Amino acid sequence: MRTTTRFALAAAVLLSPACGGIPLTAGADLDPGYDFTQYTSYVWDEPDDLPTGDPRLDNNPFFVHRLHSAIHWELATRGIEYAAEGPALQVHHHAVVREHVDVYAAEPSAGYTTEYGENTQVIQYQEGTFLVDLADARTGEVIWRGWARLDLSSALDDPMQMRDQIDRAIGKMFENFPIPYGGVQRAAAPVRPIEGR
């Protein structure tokens, strides 16, 4: 069933191996009714005004550039290139950061004691969520949505770690994209990072 609403928001949530080995989780969903091989170009959709939940990322052009660079890499390696004029796809993304607390029952012999009680282990971290939507530029229908999740606690204060975490999350998100690396047409290797928007 095709999505008929105008370009819905898509998500990616990022979780790093820090803070107790919280794994990166990512995935995607798509409309199987579309032939993805017809899409060879894209343009960025207008950014939304929704806050990320962290002032270090809100209206931060460097953060947006890192997201654009990671998404561009995944699309370009599949033969889908940026084109300001007449693009086949619109790409929209959004990020959310929120405080997250996981509480686990611990082995009694480990001797954990916290405000949550004896024999409990508590992991507190900044959970990042990234959403990425690809929409048909003619109809505005979302045809693919990706998401990923990871702990951004240490990356929020380290731009290079943030870049690496974004690259990992977006890469994982695109793992099962309908067009494999190399694309339908053999495109030249993409240049990274993409300049401008």
Tell me the whole-structure pTM to 2 decimals.
0.74
Q: What is the pLDDT of residue 3?
A: 37
pLDDT band of residue 113 (cuts 50, 70, 90) is low
What is d(CA 74, CA 90) in angstroms, rounded to the nearest whole number? 15
Structural domains in the chain plus CATH codes: 11-97+126-173 (3.30.160)
Residue type (1 letter), 105: A
Asked if 45 and 89 count as a contact pair (C-beta separation under 8 A), the reply is: no
Instruction: Tell me the pLDDT tens digit for each residue of 30-67.
Output: 988 889 999 999 999 988 778 888 888 888 999 999 99
What are the contacts of 19-25 at 24+ separation with CB within 8 A?
A: 19/123, 19/124, 19/125, 19/151, 19/153, 20/121, 20/123, 22/102, 22/123, 22/125, 22/150, 22/151, 24/148, 24/149, 24/150, 24/168, 24/169, 24/172, 25/148, 25/149, 25/150
| Residue type, position 6, single letter | R
